[in-house]
Structure 1
């Protein structure tokens, strides 16, 4: 269920998540879930004394503090996406972890992958984050156009990955699945991923399910609107490049409160 300070608006395949207050309940959610989001629930369950919340905050910040502003926007945005999408789309099971396993860098491959519990379908997501930009023509701030730009970047990014047919993207997803899924469901998830990979299904005509996720840092008093998401979704459906698609747009005034909260948590470690 949603928690204090967060409001959802939805129509068909389009959802807006407004973070109106970075509440104590939201902070508690981060404390309860960060280790599992970052390392994978199975890993944390096996070694809870090793993958603690405290050590995870430190590791996240070690990666975060060396990055430029654009990468920082993306790292906080992806963390918010991990937490908030599952709060609304409760039938999606996450197959991905937040951290990049090879080095302290941004995560490579598909941002977040999901398995739908009802119909056993795979969903690939791309997360794009950014501040609200002024219009080139008028210099006016327009969150609706800025969010549409992020949606387009997410669409183009996921299409590029599909068209690249890089087996390494699915190799990474298979590793993530072992970190996140219970043993009883793991074999099924890995078979679905393998059968959906270019190695076993290299057809140029294959279509996949996608979730385009945006995180717009802009005051929620000047919010994005569902009609603009619906307009984008209508055009996306006509293009028929995906089997099915969902749009999920998060709006939060700033990323600094999340950053400051994580840094403050290290004071007690």
Structure 2
């Protein structure tokens, strides 16, 4: 009998693995419905939906291995990263989903709120927070929305033989900023950006990608700390923020 593995659990959702099946339980039935619809619309490999009975969604495991993990060098080849770039370009050129994305005003409000929390609780020096806060505001610019994954962490892209075999966790799929997806995939793996762009194309706003690196790291920090994760682990969010200081010094 296959063992039940708890993949992730917090107040919003939980994911269990039993053999080759992932069971996701989400407190927001609308979010899981959008996840299913996003996977149906995305022109890239996604997990097979086995069944969906809110609040539960059962998905088949995708083949291959993740591009890497945050906090450790990616062992994937440059060709695999380029394949991820090509897949991401296909997604960004696809028709937009019918539901709205997250307004920039909401993102800006979150940035200011989380920076104030970081300054009040001091897990980082104030100058690191303030410098990255200024950099992060560069992401809050008008942009043409595209179909984005919305949470394209490096562990969400699976490859095999230098081809993408699956992209998982589509709960944030929506219209949004293409540079956000590029930034989240390379967060903590900035040295692989050029490999990714070899497949995606170089017509990108590198300043916006850097801004999203800062914004994502700033806004994720409190949640990570409060849920038992360590953003100060080597190669993780706080190192990303410190890297911006070295660039500007």
Q: What is the TM-score normalised by the length of structure 1?
A: 0.30
When normalised by structure 2's length, the TM-score is: 0.32
